[in-house]
């Protein structure tokens, strides 16, 4: 029986030399693999109160939309700077390859709402930490964070756990 990691392709030296890029598009393209990933990502939250799923740009949108649908809750995107219309709040952060800014609509989350944060990969944790800060600034209460892949050597899990976050990942890969 195939495991989640069996559906994920590794591309060497992308986007920079020395990087092993974990490509989840091969997982998304396979109906059994995609269904397995969504089901496994949902499992820890059975019976928990969740009001909205927040997906981190960009692959977190694919996962977050499917998970929100299964939970019958709303979906909120956290996007790169300049991609959302209307009033937003912003958060800068550091990622593996430099710096960036993410944004969320200033009315996307109401104080006290229970939030599940979703993305495909946890590396340094910079994007997830920025998303968490945005959600908390709006008064959202984060129930958990969920990823397909954890790259433990890059320290993202430790960073999020130090913030008091629960971290769930379906598989881990060694290396960067």
Residue 158: is its pLDDT beyond 80?
yes
pLDDT, average across residues 147-174: 97
Dihedral (C-alpha) 63, 68, 70, 72: value to the nearest 10 degrees? -170
What pLDDT, on the 0 to 100 scale, is given for residue 90?
98
Architecture of 50-172 per CATH? Answer: 3-Layer(aba) Sandwich (3.40)
* Catalytic center residues: 59, 96
Model confidence at 98: pLDDT above 80: no
| pLDDT for the residue 176 | 61
pLDDT at 19: 87
> Could you tell me how far CA 140 lies from the centroid of its own chain?
16
Q: Is the pLDDT of residue 97 over 80?
A: no
Instruction: For residue 16, name the pLDDT band (cuts at 50, 70, 90).
Output: confident
163 pLDDT higher than 80: yes
Domain-wise residue ranges, the chain: 50-172
Residue 69 predicted with pLDDT over 70: yes
109-154 confidence digits (pLDDT tens): 999 999 999 999 999 999 999 999 999 999 999 999 999 999 999 9
Residue 123 contacts by C-beta under 8 Å, 6 or more apart in sequence? 95, 96, 151, 154, 156, 176
Mean of the per-residue pLDDT values for the chain? 96
């Amino acid at each position: 029986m195939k495991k989640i990691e069996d559906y994920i392709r590794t591309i060497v030296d992308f986007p920079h030399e020395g990087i092993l890029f974990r490509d989840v598009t091969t997982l998304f393209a396979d109906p059994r693999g995609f269904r397995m990933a969504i089901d496994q990502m949902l499992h820890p939250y059975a019976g928990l109160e969740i009001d909205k799923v927040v997906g981190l740009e960009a692959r977190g949108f694919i996962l977050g939309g499917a998970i929100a649908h299964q939970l019958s809750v709303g979906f909120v995107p956290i996007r790169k700077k300049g991609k959302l219309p209307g009033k937003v709040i912003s958060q800068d952060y550091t990622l593996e390859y430099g710096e960036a800014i993410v944004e969320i609509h200033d009315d996307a989350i109401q104080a006290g709402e229970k939030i599940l944060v979703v993305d495909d990969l946890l590396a340094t944790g910079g994007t997830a930490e920025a998303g968490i800060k945005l959600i908390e600034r709006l008064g959202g209460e984060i129930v958990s964070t969920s990823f397909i892949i954890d790259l433990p050597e890059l320290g993202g899990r430790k960073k999020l756990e130090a913030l008091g976050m629960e971290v769930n990942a379906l598989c881990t890969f060694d290396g960067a």
